[in-house]
Amino acid sequence: METLDKTAQAIAHKKTVVDYLTKTSNHLFVTESNKFFKVILVEAKDSIHAFQMTFGNGNCTIREINIVNYVSWYGASAKSVISDSLFPNYNKRTSIKHFRKMNALLDAITILTKETDFIEKAELVLSDPELNVKIK
pLDDT tens-digit map of 105-115: 777 777 766 66
pTM for the full model? 0.75
Angstrom distance (rounded) from CA 85 to CA 130: 28
Mean pLDDT (the chain) is: 80
Q: How many CB atoms lie within 10 A of CB 105?
A: 20
pLDDT tens-digit map of 34-72: 888 889 888 777 778 899 988 887 788 889 999 999 999
Type of residue numbered 93: R
Of 1-5, 77-81, 89-93, 108-112, the one with minimum mean pLDDT is 1-5
